[in-house]
Amino acid sequence: MELKGKIAAITGASGGIGEQLARLLVKEGATVVLLARREEELMRVRQEIGSACYVYKLDVSDEKMVADVFARISQEVGDVDILVNNAGFGIFKTFEEASLQEVKAMFSVNVFGLVACTKAVLPAMKKRSSGHIVNIASLAGKIATPKSSAYSATKHAVLAFSNSLRMELAISGIYVTAVNPGPIRTDFFNIADKSGTYVKSVERYMLRPEYVAACIVKAIKRNKREINLPRWMSVGPLMFALLPRVFEKLAGTALNKK
């Protein structure tokens, strides 16, 4: 895909992957729509990037707000060519410790928010027979780990949704990319891992958001169906699929360090 002149909407664009992705897409000549709940942070990002950015406050868990905001984007900026469903959060607790409210909140943002945003842009993409939807999932969606039962479940759902949608749109000219990163050095862990235990155990393996964003831009250009980051971590899901009992026995202790 040629990115110059395209309109790219990014949820969760107030920091981390979303912010870095916005910076790269603007350099590629795209017009970027920044979406997040923290409007003041969106304004900071726009000020730093320049005039090729539009800012809209959005809580993806609010279905009506999603519909209204994307309708405004279509009228005020234009139809979205690239949607990056990046908004999401996790809470690392055992299932027993996690409240039902926390579980519902993760599904509301990570799954139903992603679905609502996709629903909002898909009709116009189908009319034009072109578009690209990028869903930020996680390697946690391929390997469920201790203390992240609900979070892993949301990312399993994102992967299943992405795979099914990709097949439904196979001859439509619309592409769907699933991105499965490992741990990334962002504010995500301020909520997910308040104790700091998990961060300490995986700090040496943590990805930089700039690197992840660059990989996503390449995937959009090449219409890739899925990317796993870092690549060596994709060995884990393969081992889990082939030898689940052995994997759980060998890796269980390490994966429990959250």
DSSP string, 116-166: HHHHHHHHHHHHHT-EEEEEE--GGGTS--TT-HHHHHHHHHHHHHHHHHH
Residue 1 clears pLDDT 60, i.e. is over it: yes
* From 151, 175, 198, 211, the catalytic residue: 151
Please report the pLDDT score of residue 116 as a whole number.
98
Q: Which helix (H) or strand (E) holds 179?
A: strand 174-181
Distant-in-sequence, close-in-space partners of 208: CB < 8 Å, separation ≥ 6: 184, 185
pLDDT digits (tens, 9 = 90+) for 130-183: 999 999 999 999 988 888 899 999 999 999 999 999 999 999 999 999 999 988
Q: 80: how many CB neighbours lie within 10 A of its CB? A: 24
The verdict on whether 205 is a catalytic residue reads: no
Whole-angstrom Cα distance, residue 220 to residue 82? Answer: 9
Q: What's the mean pLDDT in 94-98?
A: 93
pLDDT band at 79 (very low <50, low <70, confident <90, very high): very high
**With 0-12 CB in 10 A as exposed, 13-18 as middle and 19+ as buried, what is 2?**
exposed
pLDDT at res. 232:
65
Residue 2 falls within a domain, yes or no?
no
Q: Which SS3 state, helix, strand or coil, does residue 10 take? A: strand
pLDDT at 205: 66
Summary mean pLDDT of the chain? 90
Q: Residues 3-15: what's their mean pLDDT?
A: 97
Per-residue pLDDT tens over the stretch 199-242: 566 666 678 999 999 999 999 999 999 999 987 667 777 777 77
* Rounded mean pLDDT, 86-103: 94
Name the H helices within 171-243: 188-192, 197-202, 209-222, 235-242
Output the pLDDT for position 190.
Answer: 62
User: For residue 222, what pLDDT is reported?
Assistant: 97
Contact call for residues 4 and 25 (beta carbons, < 8 A): no
User: What pLDDT does residue 161 have?
Assistant: 98
29 is a domain residue: yes
Residue range(s) defining the domain that contains residue 174: 7-255
E strands, 1-130, are 7-11, 31-36, 53-57, 82-85
Whether 188 is in a domain gets the answer: yes
Higher pLDDT, 190 or 99: 99
pTM equals 0.89
Q: Residue 38's closest CA among 65, 72, 13, 66?
A: 13
* Within-domain flag for 92: yes
Beta bridge partners of 178: 135, 226
Determine, yes or no, domain membership for 1: no
In the block, which residue shows the tokens 């926390």?
A: 102
Domains identified in the chain, total number? 1
Which are the contacts of 214, defined by CB distance < 8 A and separation ≥ 6?
Answer: 24
Instruction: Read off the tokens for 96.
Output: 């027993």
Asked, for residue 31, whether it belongs to a domain, the answer is: yes
Please report, for the domain that includes residue 201, its CATH number. Answer: 3.40.50.720
> Average pLDDT in the 80-109 region?
96
Coil vs helix vs strand at 55: strand
